[in-house]
Amino acid sequence: MNCNSTTKNYYRTEKLPHIWCPGCGHGTLLNAVVRAIEKLGLNKDEVVVVSGIGCSSRAPGYLDFNTLHTTHGRALAFATGIKFANPKLHVIVIMGDGDSSAIGGNHLIHAARRNIDLTTIVFNNNIYGMTGGQYSPTTPYGDFATTSAYGNIEKPFDLCSLAQGAGSTYVGRGTAYHTRLMQNLVEKAIQNKGFSFVEGLSICPTYYGRKNKKGDAFEMHTFYKENCVDIKVAEKDPEKGKNKILIGEFHSCPKPEYTESYQVIIDRFQGMGV
């Protein structure tokens, strides 16, 4: 097979190349996720990758794990059923920005609130790509999309703040450019026993990039390179973080996990009559 060993060991190589457009950041982000799984040495039979609908949600089909491509917005609800039914499984959920925070927003806040041990990764490309470039809940104010022809008048979600506010016990943000950071965040997210949320800022040269004159894939990567600042740097020197996109580990605060708390109930009451 004409590919590196990580690809050979963790991808369904017969399904490649994937359907994503040339330069789409999703492939790069997915590689960071796969390298994190490789680094942690997880047993492939015990990994389940769940997705919803959209560009990002095609990811599981290319991966050699137990994979589930569900309905739009519902990935976390399916994943909750899987994890709760069999807590031994490592359940990783890959969603898009519209998928996770528009149609699936309710599932996101409730999965976070329960602190169920799911590793949630959002490939945020600021647009609905699969349907041809409509504005999403993370499209920046004033930006253009096929349904915001005169500029977006809605304010975007900060997905990490949303997840943290809802109770996520691990939160971080990487980008398609900052792949090492992305890998590192996903590793820690998987290791966190509880609901973890990692936002991967992606690039969509085809729709978001073209509509907003952001240049080609390389230029969009370069934008992240030049405009992202790690939160640790910004905390030390707020001037450096001014008007920048913050990346890095935002929140790590373990709390009792849902399936473990339920197991306590089972251990206490199992075998007792009604």
Partner 1 sequence: MADKALHLNKKWCKGCGVCVGFCPKQVLKIEDNKCVIAYPEKCIHCGQCELRCPDNAIYIGGRSDEQ
Partner 2 sequence: MSNKKYKLLQGNEACVEGALAAGMRFFAGYPITPSTEIAEISSQRLPLIGGKFIQMEDELASMAAIIGASLTGLKSMTATSGPGFSLMQENIGYAAITETPCVIVNVQRGGPSTGLPTSPAQGDVMQAKWGTHGDHPVVALTPNSVQETYEYTVKAFNIAEKYRTPVILLMDETVGHMREKMIIKDPSEIEVINRKKPNCKPIEYIAFKPDKDMVPPMAAFGEGYRYHVTGLVHDETGFPTNNNEVAENLIRRLVEKIEKNIEDFSYYEEYRLEDAEVVIVAYGGVSRSAKYAVDELRKKNIKAGMFRPITIWPFLEKQIREVGLRAKEIYVAEMNLGQYFLEVERVAGKYCSVKKINKVNGELMTPDEIINSIGGNI
Amino acid at 148: S
Instruction: Looking at residues 28 to 87 of the shown chain, list those that interact with partner 1 (rule: CB under 8 A).
Output: 28, 31
Least distance to partner 2, CB of residue 247, Å: 30
Instruction: Count CA within 13 A, CB hemisphere, residue 159.
Output: 35
Among residues 70, 175, 196, 202, the one that binds partner 2 under rule CB under 8 A: 70
Amino acid at 206: T
Tell me which stretch binds partner 2 (CB under 8 A): 1-9, 80-88, 201-209, 232-240: 80-88
**Contact string 35-54 vs partner 2 (x = CB under 8 A):** ---------xxx-x-x----
- Residue 110 touches which of partner 2, partner 1, none (CB < 5 to 8 A by kind)? partner 2
Can you read off the two tokens belonging to residue 229? 């600042």
What three-state secondary structure class fits 94?
A: strand
Among residues 128, 157, 170, 177, the one that binds partner 1 under rule CB under 8 A: 177
By CB under 8 A, tell whether 9 contacts partner 1. no
Q: Strands 170-175 and 245-252: what pairing?
A: antiparallel
By CB under 8 A, tell whether 17 contacts partner 2. no
Among residues 14, 17, 150, 267, the one that binds partner 1 under rule CB under 8 A: 17
Amino acid at 196: S
Q: Of 94 and 112, which has the nearer Cβ to partner 1? A: 94
Of the candidates 18, 94, 17, 83, the one whose C-alpha atom is nearest the C-alpha of residue 49 is 94
Chain centre distance of CA 269: 37
- Residue 153 touches which of partner 1, partner 2, none (CB < 5 to 8 A by kind)? none
Q: How far apart are CA 94 and CA 249, in angstroms?
A: 18
Q: Of 163 and 201, which has the nearer Cβ to partner 2? A: 163
Number of residues that bind partner 1 (CB under 8 A): 28
Least distance to partner 2, CB of residue 9, Å: 13
Q: Of 16 and 264, which has the nearer Cβ to partner 1? A: 16
- The residues, ordered by sequence, that sit 6+ positions from 174 with a Cβ below 8 Å of its Cβ are 29, 32, 181, 182, 183, 184, 185, 186, 198, 199, 200, 201, 247
What three-state secondary structure class fits 69?
A: strand
Amino acid at 212: N
By CB under 8 A, tell whether 233 contacts partner 2. no
